[in-house]
Amino acid sequence: MLHLLAIALLQPAGALDLVVGVDHTTRLLEGERASAFELGRAEVGARLQWDFVRAEARFETVRSAQPQSLFGIDGNSLVVRARRVAVGVEASWGPLEVGGRVGLLADPFLDRVEQGFDLRDLTALSAQELLDPADLGAQVRLDAWDQRLGVGVGFGNGEGATEGERNDGVDLTAVAYGVPWRGQLFDAPAEARLVAFWRDGSRGAGAVQSDRLGAAATARTHRGSIGVSWVQAQGFADRAQREVTDLAAWANFTLLPGWFGALGQYTRTDLDSTQDAIRQRISAGLYLEPRLSGATPDQRLRLYLTWSRLTFGPDAGPVAGVPEAVDQDILLVRLALAHTLGVSP
Amino acid sequence: MVRWLLPWFLLSCAADEGDHRTGWLHSTLAADNRMMFERFPQAAAEKLAKMAATPFDFLRGTAAQFARDVLEPGPHHVRTRFGSAAASRRLLLGDAHLENVGTFYAGRVRLLVDFNDFDAANFGPYHLDVWRLCVSIGVALHGEAQGLRVRWMQAAARAYAEEIQALAEGRPPFLADDPSQVVLADLLRRALRDGEAGTELAAYTRVVGDQRLPFLGEVEPPGPGYFEDTLVEVSPDEVAMIRAALHTWPTSLIDPRVVPGSAARVEGIVRRLGAGVSSYPLPRYYVLLAGPTPAVDDDLLIELKEAADPVVLPGIEHHPQPRFAHNAARVVELQRRLQAYLDDDPLLGSAALGTMSFRVRAREGYQKNLSVARLQEKYAEGEWTAADLEQAFAAIARLLARAHGGAVGSDALRGAPVIAAAIGGQTEAFAQEASDFALVYADVLIDDFDRFKTLLRDFGPWLGHRGP
């Protein structure tokens, strides 16, 4: 049935993606403990490929109330919102490939790093706190030698997926990327990627400076991934003078294919370079990955069991001088399903 | 650090970032008032005009900026030495300042002074309220000598700490009903006078023949670009909405018997313009209800004000998050927990209809607000001395301590022992810390006031907000 629907919608070629994560989260703070079932993630997307035309639409669920708001839409319902909606073109001449797209576009840095990040169905990249996952605008790219090297430039309104234009500024992003190694590992294709970017931007009615600089190195096989990323923000939370640095490292490896694997993550975010505002998060966990008949690497079911320790420096938490108010342990059980359904003409 | 990497022609794509603080103020004020800009554009412009009237009005309209400054990393994210995890989960007023203080005729037996605005009531670190109260003292009397302002701020913070300690030791809570306190006694005296004379009914209604009807028109002349106290007609849709919502009001009262059965008869509804600063644009209705007898003397005047979300306290999380049926239920529930008596205002309740919810309260002469303008005037005239003001600020801080100390926080613990443990008996150091912060921040706020007026001039009455 799904195939028929996809064929009807996506002629002549394309794919449907589905990512679902259902959680039970327990948070342990000094004097507080809370457990809750949550829909950690629900995302559906469709990609269309028609000659030189490419299109993508992805939708996700979010809670409708803003932070500390009692109510959103019909209480605090889970509502569907656009995560990315884009249409573009691609063309190639010999080893060169060019492309351009417009719409609600994925952040070009996050997009590239996520390609080397195997835990997307568990957690977002920590750099996402400093970068909107998508922005309204246009992007062009030039790749060479099967994307061994590439550069891209993007223009956006700088307000992310949640706001319309609020000032006259245009965010400009430049990204460069490469694949320094591509080969076989554990009898399967593997590759290492490098990506770097910078952005000159502004945000809000006050056109507050919102510049970014970052780089990442990742490696991925079908058995797992490893990576590091670094992003520096000049201007954050409407404060132009605030300098924030996010450093993250992650690794996961399927120890016994078809059975289970292990993962670890570490994030260190300096929330203000002028204060002792370091926030650190260390996570470790296991995942069970039952072998599904006929499953491809893009079709998997995982049960994650993770523990995270979140700690704050004296000035990192909301109550300066009282980090223990927000230091916490988080136990997460997530059942995650990721499925990509390809459709040919 | 990033910027030097960019060629000059790329820099030209960015908007002019100007002064950092001005940009922050511009962006945050536009974001915080966005709902108002889009729902009530004219009233939102009037709100900003009112905020530009005096530094204290500006303070009243910038509770969210204060919360950001104190709770987010930045130059005013100042460490407290008197905090703890538990002390960060207290029930707060959320916007403790001098003009959120007023009188109540509690249970119709005791006239007292208490806090009276709980729109921002929420859970968070207790010192946020203490510091905000001290800042409000610093802004209200900004023209006075620094030493004097420090003395007043420290008197308040010291009194707060002493009262918390007393409550933690099981001593009875402080009640501000003492006529020997010059400033608060003046408030009590005027409230008694106006309550007995029924001045609110007289101001907002008129007797025509044998019937009392709502007044329409100016009760006070408007200010430059905003209303002060004007009553206007409501639409038939608004009348229908208010009548329907009022059906839910009696069940929300602490004692439904205080409302006579005949009060179900609505004699008239008008909309009040010009009240408040932060909540200025929100619909506020005065509803005249028939009293228990056919005589016009016992008619009741109540106010329905739309309840909105509280001021966001950035980074503050609670697990689990306290939940309420609607925002008016939150305001009413937390007001009762924070006030001296459950029936400070016996008519306090909520009325809801669909997604709209209203806080309902009595509109009577017994409820009279502390006025910073009057305080400044009396002090300038020499009628009230520095010692009188010190005594008043200390009393108000004791009220704050009583509110915090008696209320249960998001962790189900009573406030007084938790806060007393956090202060640890270091009353003088606590007072010093509060005044150190408040002295600096009051100056920042005065400078922000000037920045704000420049923004209004440069970007217009909606600060350059772009509609949907």
Whole-angstrom distance, CA of residue A5 vs CA of residue A64: 29
At B14 the pLDDT is: 41
Higher pLDDT, B392 or A2: B392
Residue (of B218, B266, B263, B259) closest to B241 by Cα position: B266
When scoring A27, A37, A272, A319 by the number of chain B Cβ atoms within 10 A, the one with the most, hence best to mutate, is: A319
Whole-angstrom distance, CA of residue B310 vs CA of residue A256: 51
Go through chain B and tell me how many residues it has: 468
Bridge partners of A85? Answer: A57, A104
At B209 the pLDDT is: 87
What percent of chain A has a predicted confidence (pLDDT) above 70? Answer: 96
Does the distance separating the beta carbons of A322 and B22 come in below 8 Å?
A: no
Query: A301 in contact with B at a CB cutoff of 8 Å?
Result: no
Reported as type and span, the H/E element at residue A251 is: strand A239-256
Whole-angstrom distance, CA of residue B341 vs CA of residue A31: 29
Does the distance separating the beta carbons of B320 and A315 come in below 8 Å?
A: no
At A12 the pLDDT is: 60
- Neighboring chain A residues of B423 at a CB cutoff of 8 Å: none
**Two structure tokens written together for B436:** 């150190």
Query: A242 in contact with B at a CB cutoff of 8 Å?
Result: yes
Does the distance separating the beta carbons of B11 and A200 come in below 8 Å?
A: yes
At A129 the pLDDT is: 94
- Neighboring chain A residues of B79 at a CB cutoff of 8 Å: 314-315, 320-321
Of A202, A208, A318, the CB nearest to B314: A318
- Please calculate the CA angle B220-B223-B229 and round it to the nearest 5 degrees: 30
Does the distance separating the beta carbons of A205 and B27 come in below 8 Å?
A: yes
Does the distance separating the beta carbons of A172 and B10 come in below 8 Å?
A: yes
**Two structure tokens written together for A142:** 């030039």
Are B416 and B160 contacting, i.e. CB atoms less than 8 angstroms apart?
Answer: no
- Cα pseudo-dihedral B408, B409, B414, B419, rounded to 10: -140
Looking up tokens 């059942």 gives A335
ipTM over 0.85: yes
How close A260 gets to chain B, by Cα (Å)? 31
- Neighboring chain A residues of B89 at a CB cutoff of 8 Å: 31-32, 325
pLDDT tens column, A44-102: 999 999 899 999 999 999 988 877 777 888 888 899 999 999 999 999 999 999 999 99
pLDDT tens column, A115-149: 889 998 899 999 999 999 999 999 999 999 988 99
**A73 to chain B: closest CA residue:** B355
At B258 the pLDDT is: 82
Query: With 60 as the cut, is the pLDDT of residue A245 above it?
Result: yes
How close A31 gets to chain B, by Cα (Å)? 7
How close A175 gets to chain B, by Cα (Å)? 13
pLDDT tens column, A267-322: 999 999 999 999 999 999 999 998 877 777 678 899 999 999 999 999 999 999 99
Does the distance separating the beta carbons of B73 and A271 come in below 8 Å?
A: yes
Helices and strands (H and E) in chain A: how many: 2, 18
**B276 alpha carbon, distance to own chain's centre:** 8
**A209 to chain B: closest CA residue:** B17
Query: A243 in contact with B at a CB cutoff of 8 Å?
Result: yes
Does the distance separating the beta carbons of A232 and B312 come in below 8 Å?
A: no
**B101 alpha carbon, distance to own chain's centre:** 8
How close A57 gets to chain B, by Cα (Å)? 23
Q: What is the mean pLDDT of chain A?
A: 91
Find residues 182-201 of chain A whose CB sits inside 8 Å of chain B. 198, 200-201
Q: E-strand spans in B251-396?
A: 266-273, 284-289, 300-306, 349-353, 356-362
Does the distance separating the beta carbons of B13 and A200 come in below 8 Å?
A: yes
What b/e sequence results for A83-92 when a residue is b if at least 16 CB atoms lie within 10 Å of its CB, and e otherwise?
bbbbebebee
Query: With 70 as the cut, is the pLDDT of residue A5 above it?
Result: no
Local confidence pLDDT in tens for the 468 residues of chain B: 444 444 433 443 444 434 899 999 999 999 999 999 999 999 999 999 999 999 999 999 999 999 999 999 999 999 999 999 999 999 999 999 999 999 999 988 999 999 999 999 999 999 999 999 999 999 999 999 999 999 999 999 999 999 999 999 999 999 988 878 899 999 999 999 999 998 888 899 999 988 899 999 999 999 999 999 999 999 999 999 999 999 999 999 999 888 766 556 899 999 999 999 999 999 999 999 988 888 888 899 999 999 999 999 999 988 887 889 999 999 999 999 999 999 999 999 999 998 789 999 999 999 999 999 999 999 999 999 999 999 999 999 999 999 999 999 999 999 999 999 999 999 999 999 999 999 999 999 999 999 999 999 999 999 999 765
Does the distance separating the beta carbons of B88 and A205 come in below 8 Å?
A: no
Residue A163 pLDDT grade (very low, low, confident, very high; cuts 50, 70, 90): confident
Query: A162 in contact with B at a CB cutoff of 8 Å?
Result: no
Higher pLDDT, A344 or B155: B155
At A344 the pLDDT is: 67
Of A70, A208, A272, the CB nearest to B73: A272
Does the distance separating the beta carbons of B318 and A209 come in below 8 Å?
A: no
CB burial class (10 A; 0-12, 13-18, 19+) of residue B255? exposed
Query: A324 in contact with B at a CB cutoff of 8 Å?
Result: yes
How close A63 gets to chain B, by Cα (Å)? 14
When scoring A70, A231, A236, A275 by the number of chain B Cβ atoms within 10 A, the one with the most, hence best to mutate, is: A70
Does the distance separating the beta carbons of A234 and B2 come in below 8 Å?
A: yes
Query: A230 in contact with B at a CB cutoff of 8 Å?
Result: no
Residue type present at position A106:
A
Does the distance separating the beta carbons of A31 and B318 come in below 8 Å?
A: no
Query: A311 in contact with B at a CB cutoff of 8 Å?
Result: no
**B22 to chain A: closest CA residue:** A206
Q: Which residues contact A323 (CB under 8 A, 6 or more apart)?
A: A311, A312, A313, A314, A316, A317
Residue (of B220, B198, B330) closest to B273 by Cα position: B220
Query: A317 in contact with B at a CB cutoff of 8 Å?
Result: yes
Are B302 and B269 contacting, i.e. CB atoms less than 8 angstroms apart?
Answer: no
At B40 the pLDDT is: 95
At A158 the pLDDT is: 87
Does the distance separating the beta carbons of B83 and A321 come in below 8 Å?
A: yes
Does the distance separating the beta carbons of A239 and B83 come in below 8 Å?
A: no
